[in-house]
Chain A
Amino acid sequence: MKFSDFVCFEAIIGELQASSRNGAIAELVSALDKAGRLGKGNCEKITKAVIKRENEASTGMGKGIAVPHVQHGVVKDVVAAIGQSSAGIDFSSLDKQLVYSVILLISPADNPDRHLQAMESVFGHLQHDKFRKFLRQSQTAEEIADLLREVDENPSLE
């Protein structure tokens, strides 16, 4: 899967206002909601579901990355929002370091394979030091969107 297949480009945030884990999740869910990707009136419900999942086991995978996610019936297909924090956010990550790039994934409840395909794409890119560095250096939503389009078109870039 390409980033453009599941990342909602209107829900990319160059600098998150939130400084807390829950705040960042709420901000990203709200961005998806504003982009019309979650159906009507589901914003709060999804935020709570993502936080609940995050409380069960941190998705802070280390190296400054967190991938909070939930499978939920309000979406028909997997959709992602991306936010950056220059100050860093505490996600109780595996390596105990702060998180600078947050990728929020909402996947359909009845299609686990689709969720896995999005994960494959996200982690396929994130494991490259160069991609993580470029992502972290991107300061605006436009720069992040450009980076995603670039690796979609030219995966060898990494």
Chain B
Amino acid sequence: MRAEQDSLKKTVCETEIEIKNADGLHMRPAMQFVDAANQFDCDITVSNDKNSVDGKSIMQMSMLAATCGSRLKIKAEGSDAQEAVSVLRQLVEEKKFDKPEPGNKKQKAKRVDE
């Protein structure tokens, strides 16, 4: 993760994350991601090797269709960029959307709304 300040004091923060839940970034994880992203003021762009999309749009995030094991780049621009990237990385890589990892499918998925 790296953060830079440009002349307008806009923080830009970027990181690469790996999708770790077995089912990948399907609709509910995508919604969790978008909900988390929308708590921040900064602009958030998420990219794979084909597309760059708005991390705050559920339709665009669903389009990424990132499978388990795939990597995405998160770029945040704005005053709270650093915190946003940190929270999103945590959701994807540590909480893994509260979903099972491969080989651990029995674990019951938690509700995602609220």
Contact = CB atoms under 8 A, between A and B. Distances in A.
A61 interface: yes
- Interface size, B (range): 20 to 34
Report whether over half of chain A's contact residues are helix, strand or loop; otherwise say mixed: helix
Interface stretch (A11-19, A26-34, A113-121, A149-157): A113-121
A61 B63 CA distance: 12
Interface in B10-33: 22-28, 31
A132 B22 CA distance: 31
A85 interface: no
Interface string A87-119: 000000010000000000000000011011101
Contacts of B67: 112-113, 116
B52 interface: no
A120 B57 CA distance: 14
- Interface size, A (range): 20 to 34
A37 interface: no
Interface string B84-114: 0000000000000000000000000001110
Interface of B: 22-28, 31, 57-60, 62-68, 111-113
Interface of A: 56-57, 59, 61-63, 65, 67, 69, 94, 112-113, 115-117, 119-120, 122-124, 126-127
